[in-house]
Homo-oligomer: A and B are copies of this chain.
Amino acid sequence: MKIPKPVYYGDYLQLPKILEAQVTESAKYGDEAHDETLFIIIHQTYELWFKQILHELDSVRAIMQKPYIPSTDLSVINSRVERVTAIQQILIDQIQVMETMTSLDFMEFRDFLVPASGFQSLQFRLVEATLGIKAHHRMEVEKQFFKSRLKPEDHKKLEAVEAKVSIFELVEEWLSRMPFSQFQDWDFWGEYSVAVDRMLTHDEEIIRSNPSLDEKLKGLELKNLEATRDTFRVLLDARLFDQWKAEGKVRLSQKAMLSAVFIYLYRDYPALQMPFRILNSLVEVDEKFTTWRYRHAIMVQRILGTKIGTGGSSGHEYLKSTTDRNRAFLDFFNLATFLIPKSATPKIPPEVVEQLDIVYDSLRA
């Protein structure tokens, strides 16, 4: 190992480039608006973080493209997805810095930026596409925005990433390869079905005997329960499940979904801890973006009210409408529906435990 060439902090970080990239538009038309610098710098930090998120997600995709993912790599995947969520928390927290800007100050330079807009952040769209949001998942209005507002070369880059396999697709394949949808000598899903029935029957009794519900509310609750019952029925019936999928009610295949349910139920076993954590942190990625969109929409409304934004449009309605959309991993978020009390989960037979567990003989001594 030879001694590397000495490195100077400012050169290494290319600070001259980075720190001279703040040119205000307001200064071109008169007095510089003091707060425009904040507007530029906060967006630049957002873009730097998006680059880092892409760096992590691209590496996760590369690992998951292997036909077999070694367990130590699962740990790497999880760390990187968790890092993404740590970064997202910063994206959210930064909104509080933006909120130190008042309406009165923002309007000093808003006009000079038209029609620039966060919608034009190519990197953010690449993040969504890499996670699993393809063009056909988007609302019509959003697709139109991209066409009219992204530069053609940026639009092309987005399409190129949309054409690649997404992390959602790779996770689905990985789950489908798992051996949990059917066991050789153990009718797990039959036993699960029985436990579910028992739980729902009990729920029904609770509703019927609940003194604080009048007949109308009782009827509502029982209808609700029936819907839950149907949901379970769909889960366990390949044909019904495919139909749901076709209707867009679910994105995962049935096989992948069953593996996910199994993982969630038996997450305490060493073999399933990391798979569980990965699914869980992917849901967290979705949720943090949802929170970010929501907080962002609120901030815009607080600063502009119903007035138009820099994109030349009154964006907060649109922003609010996308808050809860564009979630690639919603199926995992909704998985709680299929969970049952810990004490009611079927007992795993020894030959399966052996596969899920790790035991040191020396540790038993």
Contact = CB atoms under 8 A, between A and B. Distances in A.
A342 to B, nearest CB: 4
B154 A10 contact: yes
A108 to B, nearest CB: 5
A336 B294 CA distance: 18
Contact of A97 (B83, B268, B308): B83
A244 B64 CA distance: 46
A193 interface: no
B83 A89 contact: no
Interface string A9-49: 11011110111011101001100001001101111110111
B3 A115 contact: no
Interface in A47-63: 47-49, 51-52, 55, 59
A206 B358 CA distance: 43
B114 A75 contact: no
A21 B14 contact: yes
Nearest to A97: B86
A214 to B, nearest CB: 6
A57 to B, nearest CB: 12
Contacts of A177: 362-363, 365
A321 interface: no
A172 interface: no
Contact of A271 (B264, B355, B358): B358
Contacts of A8: 116, 120, 151
A345 B108 CA distance: 11
Contact of A355 (B48, B107, B341, B360): B360
Interface string A54-84: 0100010000000010111001100100110
Which 3 residue pairs of A and B lie closest in terms of their CB atoms, listed nearest first? A305-B337, A9-B120, A305-B336
8 contacts: A7-B114, A12-B40, A41-B52, A71-B358, A107-B344, A115-B212, A206-B308, A273-B273
